[in-house]
Amino acid sequence: MFKKILIANRGEIACRIIKSARRMGIKTVAVYSEADRDAVHVAMADEAVLIGPPAAAQSYLLIDKIIDACKQTGAEAVHPGYGFLSEREAFPVALAKNGIVFIGPNPKAIAAMGDKIESKKAAAAAKVSTVPGYLGEIADSIQAMKIADEIGYPVMIKASAGGGGKGMRIAWSREEVKEGFDLSRSEAKSSFGDDRMFVEKFIVNPRHIEIQVLGDKHGNVVYLGERECSIQRRNQKVVEEAPSPLLDERTRKAMGEQAVALARAVGYDSAGTVEFVAGQDRSFFFLEMNTRLQVEHPVTEMITGIDLVEQMIKVAAGEKLPFAQKDIKLSGWAVESRIYAEDPYRNFLPSIGRLVKYRPPAEGVADGVTVRNDTGVEEGGEISMYYDPMIAKLVTHAPTRAQAIQAQAEALDAFCIDGIQHNIPFLTSLMQHPRWREGNLSTGFIKEEYPDGFIPRPPAGEEQEVMAAVSACIDHLNNARRRHIDQQMTGKPVAFAKRRVVRLGDTEVRLDVAGGDGQPVQVTLVGKDGAPGRTFEVNSTWAPGDSVWHGRIGDRVASVQVRPALNGYNLAYRGVHAIARVYTEREAALAALMPVKAAADTSKLLLCPMPGLVKAIHVEQGQDVKAGDTLAVVEAMKMENVLRAERDGVVKIINAKAGDSLAVDAVILEFV
């Protein structure tokens, strides 16, 4: 076994690999760019080596820098994680020339499977069912349009070296093929250094299901069940689960055996993933093979009890797999949510900045439920514009799917992040979605269920009751604490009103609050006519300054995000967000008379929707533009975002140029 390995990656996956290496008694070496000097993975590793400037092309993607770091530290092997050099055939070849072991598949397998065009040819030869498409390299958008016309719309445009949703677009017409091909090619070039593209038929209403395979250097290959990865946005996975609610044992076995046959055909000898697009009728077609560890590997680890990173290291050291196919048993259900630095209220555009607060839910096992959080950040750390926007992967495991989803919902409610925008509000809302809970999924789920983007629903029913009770109890606690301030004026004690009116957006909840001051708080709901309704007890250890209210409301356990707001509290619970203002009845009557402040008019401005780099300005001063015309392209976190005109107009002033770095809401253009 190796004594020391180097991790040629960063962030949560580098931390994940270090954890397994530690358990195995293996020393670790981290590499880092100047932007990652204070990163968590650097502190976790036994040694760390600086390899260059922030841009990945000048640091994490440079093979020579990685090899120099190995020589400098005496690392015997390299784990590439995912992304960066993990599927670059030249990387293991260069390592081997320098006597360094690659913890991953052999170069021939990477060449055959890592290239999406070649992998489809290999799959067809191995009699694996494949999606109709053009398997050759496409020269330009004109050829792409001709091929798309022959295949039939819609089509999927993909980068041959792609992954993680980069360099990938769906096109429903010739015009979309032309624009999508050029944009995808540009993204592929900047993300992978490889702009080869191909086109294939897009299966309507599909599901994305993948099979985890694991092989060794002695010819043994097994499959470890499947993962459902259909909840995607812009071709980027958002939520994954294992197993899939679609598959039965027969389909699982058929997909697994095809995946193993393909792996054997190319002599695969590490952890890898064979991805399929599946119809709702359980038909399936080979999509691609990822010759590396997948982002979503934790859900497979949870249902199989197998540490995939550990197995990769052992296989690379020449050990045989310690189990056969008959030994693989699936137990329970696991759900993973990817927590991204992005603004769900601005169509999920990237967000960067400092993590003023980062407090994930407690990890561990309780009552048969496991909570796991794979992360590479810490409170006070910075989310930069140079890398992927992932903050963490929150995983829950339970005996059933319903229990795993409920555990995930509760863990997300308790996950506190401040300082940047993040997608937890969307994820918590998704966990309550009836269609998700039913398992009626497709890759179009988010687009179909959130056609206008994520718009948080107003509190209603149980959410309204919980948020009103929490805000009233917090207000009651604060009043009780004021009673104990010393040096107060003598005289008649202040009497606090029992009745509270909680305004949540446009609705009001009336309730009576009593008790507290070390005892449970008694809350009684009050009808519009003033008649008392149901009474329940509220228990919590919340103290002023806590960002999350944990407690029991009647017979319900709840976690509610709490932030201070003027005369109230900013609350978030189960995807519902509201400003809760707590009044006495007299205060509520007066507050209703206050004028509402109107928002500033920005209809004649093009604002930068996220922090990013201006790639191009497509208009000139004085130019007439029509609704839908491209105005500018802004790049953030390796994704190019096209900004279009919302209505007809005339460009008055251009405030930015290509190459400018802009903050969110910076004015790019002004219109007459």
Which residues are the active-site residues?
A: 288
Helix (H, G, I), strand (E, B) or coil at 257: helix
* Spatial CA neighbour of 436 closest among 551, 540, 335, 323: 335
Pairing of strands 27-33, 47-52: parallel
Integer Cα distance of 381 and 356 in angstroms: 8
Integer Cα distance of 654 and 617 in angstroms: 9
Whether the Cβ atoms of residue 338 and residue 408 lie closer than 8 Å to each other: no
Amino acid at 608: C
Please identify which residue in the block is written with the tokens 């530290």. 73
Q: What is the DSSP string of 601-627?
A: --TTEEE-SSSEEEEEE---TT-EE-T
Cβ-based neighbours of 99, under 8 Å, separated by 6 or more: none
Cβ-based neighbours of 343, under 8 Å, separated by 6 or more: 349, 350, 351, 421, 610
Q: What is the DSSP string of 26-82?
A: -EEEEEEEGGGTT-HHHHHSSEEEEEE-SSGGGTTT-HHHHHHHHHHHT--EEE--S
Whether the Cβ atoms of residue 502 and residue 582 lie closer than 8 Å to each other: yes
Token representation of residue 17: 């690999």
Token representation of residue 565: 């707001």
* Spatial CA neighbour of 139 closest among 209, 221, 197: 197
Whether the Cβ atoms of residue 246 and residue 264 lie closer than 8 Å to each other: no
* Spatial CA neighbour of 10 closest among 63, 116, 85, 106: 85
Integer Cα distance of 80 and 383 in angstroms: 21
Integer Cα distance of 52 and 66 in angstroms: 11
Please identify which residue in the block is written with the tokens 């990865």. 229
Whether the Cβ atoms of residue 58 and residue 31 lie closer than 8 Å to each other: no
Integer Cα distance of 538 and 556 in angstroms: 10
Please identify which residue in the block is written with the tokens 């050829």. 143
Q: Find the helix packing angle between 116-125 and 249-265, rounded to 10°.
A: 110
Whether the Cβ atoms of residue 152 and residue 181 lie closer than 8 Å to each other: no
Integer Cα distance of 571 and 565 in angstroms: 9
Q: What is the DSSP string of 562-583?
A: EEEETTEEEEEETTEEEEEEEE
Please identify which residue in the block is written with the tokens 């070496």. 29
